[in-house]
C-alpha cells in the first residue's frame, strides 16, 4: 500500500511544485489540461493549468498535485503534510522556506516527541508539519 498527499490549487500548482522541487529535490513531471484528454472539459483560459503533477522525492515518496477550477477549490482543512527530517539544520532550512510568504502556526521548537517540531502554512495554502526524527 502507498499513501501520497494529493494537493489541490486554485491555479498556481505549477508554481508551487517548482518551488517544492527546488526545496526538496527530486523529479517533477507536470501535465497541463491542454495536453490531456481533459482539455475540452475546462475553459480555454484554464488549459495551461495543471491537470496532474508528480514530484518524486529523493527517498521515493511523492507529492501529487493539480489545479482545480476556482468554484471547486477548497482550502485544506483538518490535515497537514507531515515531513520528518533527519537533522535540525535541514528542518530550519525547510521551515524557513515554507514560512516565507506563508504563516507560522507553531515555530520550530523542542517538544517531548522531537528535538525540533513546527507547523506552517506555505504561500500556496498548503499546511505542513516539520519534525526532526
The domain ranges of the chain are: 6-71, 81-132
Residues 6+ apart with CB under 8 A from 34: 47, 48
Q: Does the pLDDT of residue 28 top 90, yes or no? A: yes
Cα 129 to Cα 98: distance, rounded to the nearest angstrom: 10
pLDDT tens, residue by residue, 100-132: 999 999 999 999 999 999 999 999 999 999 999
Supply the CATH classification number for the domain 6-71. 3.10.180.10
DSSP count for the chain of H helices, then E strands: 2, 8
Whether the CB-CB separation of 7 and 63 falls below 8 Å is answered with yes
pLDDT of residue 60: 94
Report the alpha-carbon angle 44-50-53, nearest 5. 160
Supply the CATH classification number for the domain 81-132. 3.30.720.110
Q: What pTM, to 2 d.p., does this model score?
A: 0.94
Amino acid at each position: 500500500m502507498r499513501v501520497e498527499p494529493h494537493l489541490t490549487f486554485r491555479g498556481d500548482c505549477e508554481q508551487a511544485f517548482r518551488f517544492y522541487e527546488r526545496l526538496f529535490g527530486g523529479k517533477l513531471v507536470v501535465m497541463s489540461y491542454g495536453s490531456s484528454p481533459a482539455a475540452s472539459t475546462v475553459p480555454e483560459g484554464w488549459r495551461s493549468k495543471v491537470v496532474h503533477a508528480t514530484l518524486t522525492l529523493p527517498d521515493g515518496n511523492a507529492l501529487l498535485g493539480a489545479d482545480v477550477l476556482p468554484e471547486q477549490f477548497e482550502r485544506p482543512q483538518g490535515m497537514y503534510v507531515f515531513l520528518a527530517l533527519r537533522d535540525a539544520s535541514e528542518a530550519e532550512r525547510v521551515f524557513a522556506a515554507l514560512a516565507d510568504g506563508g504563516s507560522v502556526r507553531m515555530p520550530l521548537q523542542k517538544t517531548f516527541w522531537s528535538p525540533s517540531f513546527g507547523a506552517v502554512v506555505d504561500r500556496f495554502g498548503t499546511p505542513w508539519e516539520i519534525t526532526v526524527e
